[in-house]
Amino acid sequence: MTNIAICAPATPITREQQAALEQLVAAEFPQVRVTFHEQCFAQHGHFAGDDLTRLTALLDCANDPAFDVVWFAKGGYGSNRIAEAAVVRMNDAARAKTYVGFSDAGYLLAALYKARIGQCVHGHMPVSARSEGGREAIRRVLRWLEGDTSGVEPSLDGTTPAAAFNLITLAMLTGTQMMPDLTGHVLMVEEVAEHMYAVDRLFFHLAGTLPRLAGLRLGAITDVPENYVEFGQTEEEIAQFWCARMGVPYLGRALIGHYSANRVVPFGLASPPART
């Protein structure tokens, strides 16, 4: 039995989204048990409870030895406000867990990866369980937790460490105490709801701050707002331009992003989930 604790370090989810995930798990994954922390449904302005409430819920889930996995319920914005405080309060039980999320949850994955706490995984989140595409992305996560690696990003070869981030999350991480050392990693990046010029601007910032990478892969750039004038380069041309400026190999596309094809990317070397 895999016991999964779900908390919301950023924004809240609804009871309907909870029910959708529970129904999926009950119907298709009998060896998985999910437990939603009540904090997932709290509301404090934009956030799923104030900072202390969200921090406390995360630590409740991470430090409880009864759980194998902590699954972040939803992105949005807010994980960065509690990530540093969380990692210094995590115990030995927290170090044995798998942590799953993406987008805004990248702040937590970065802080955990830097602190070498648990196994960090870029993967879809429970908020998406009400759509068929979202359910299929969630199935990839749940299958991977059971040892099925078919939903892993296909470019992972198990010999070169990897990491995956939302572009703006990664850009905001650079220069902070939460930023892990990605030297020698294949870095995968994606973005949602940003103008193409903003994507270029984010790559500009990263080109001046990232260490020597083994290579970069570009995920999906989705829901790009229409600008008054075309930028003049595609997202792939932007990535290739800045990779050339960095002297980093551009390795092609990756199946990650804010869409239903989003694949699982374990940080470091790809493997089945850690278990004690």
Name 193's Cβ contacts closer than 8 Å, sequence gap at least 6. Answer: 222, 223, 224, 225
Write the pLDDT tens digit of every residue in 202-234: 999 999 999 899 999 999 999 999 999 999 999
Write the pLDDT tens digit of every residue in 71-119: 999 999 999 999 999 999 999 999 999 999 999 999 999 999 999 999 9
pLDDT of residue 157: 86
Place of tokens 């956030």: 47
Banded pLDDT at 271 (limits 50, 70, 90): low
Residue 251 has pLDDT above 80, yes or no: yes
Write the pLDDT tens digit of every residue in 3-30: 999 999 999 999 999 999 999 999 999 9
Average model confidence (pLDDT) across the chain: 96
Banded pLDDT at 276 (limits 50, 70, 90): very low
**What is the mean predicted confidence (pLDDT) over 33-60?**
98
